[in-house]
Amino acid sequence: MSRKLKKGYFVRGEFVAEGSERDIELKAELKGTDDQSRTDLKRESTELQKIGADLLTLRADLLARLALSDKFKDAILDAKRITNFEGKRRQMQFIGKLMRLLEPEVLADVKKALDEQANGSASENLALHQAEVWRDRLIADEDAAAQWISQNPRTDTQQLRALIRQARKDAVPEKPGAAVRHGRAYREIFQLVREALTAIPDNDAPAPTFNAAREAS
């Protein structure tokens, strides 16, 4: 009498009988892989939904730089206009679907634009740092005002010198050992300097740089 063959399958040259311990082990591994894949997909989908929601708050100039289709941009504008809760939810689901269709490089640009809005661009951060350096030098160094004005001839000289004098007065502690306080003049000097540093440069007068500030110190 012929021997009845067991039902099973081969894995890497190994025969695995159905119902055996090895069969149960392999199926468990496979199930775990599937569950992990579903978890990863859900996490990725949630992340894309959040990025899509964040796009609704993106500045117009940053949004215009992105290589998004007109359909995508219209979907964002529609989502901003919709006030009905259910309508908004459905529109955001649609935006999430469009997010999943983005090319990797476009998605990277979207993330970069959102980061720039949240943290500022590299040039903006540099300008803020330079403004802080110049503000502190203008208040602490008697020669700094002349150096700044020579590099920024459009500066209102009287206004700047008046702000510097007031900032120095404000910085004097009321009592010995008291903490230095900064008043309105301190903030206005920073604003004046920052606006000059971020203005469109004059072709005849190059804008001052952080290196220039360091060399002058």
From the candidate CATH numbers 1.10.10.410, 3.40.50.620, 1.10.60.30, 3.40.50.720, the one assigned to the domain spanning 23-119: 1.10.60.30
- Answer for the pair 186, 135: CB distance below 8 angstroms, yes or no: yes
pLDDT confidence tier of residue 203, bands split at 50, 70 and 90: very low
Q: How confident is the model at residue 44 (pLDDT cuts 50, 70, 90)?
A: confident
pTM of the model: 0.45
Structure tokens at 3: 């021997």
> Which residue has better confidence, 210 or 79?
79
Q: What angle do CA 13, 17, 19 make, to 5 degrees?
A: 140
Residue 138 has a pLDDT of 93
Q: In the chain, which residues fall in CATH 1.10.60.30?
A: 23-119, 122-216
Chain CA centroid to CA 23, Å: 49
The residue that leads in pLDDT, 73 or 217, is: 73
User: Do the Cβ atoms of 138 and 210 come closer than 8 Å?
Assistant: no
Question: Residue 43 class from Cβ within 10 Å (0-12 exposed, 13-18 middle, 19+ buried)?
Answer: exposed
Q: Is 207 helix (H, G, I), strand (E, B) or coil?
A: coil
More confident position, 117 or 74: 74
At 43, is the pLDDT very low, low, confident or very high (cuts 50, 70, 90)? confident
Architecture of domain 122-216: Orthogonal Bundle (1.10)
Burial bucket for residue 192 (CB in 10 Å: 0-12, 13-18, 19+): buried
Residues in the chain, how many?
A: 217
**The residue to which tokens 């008291």 are assigned:** 178
Contacts of 58 (CB under 8 A, 6+ apart): 113, 114, 117
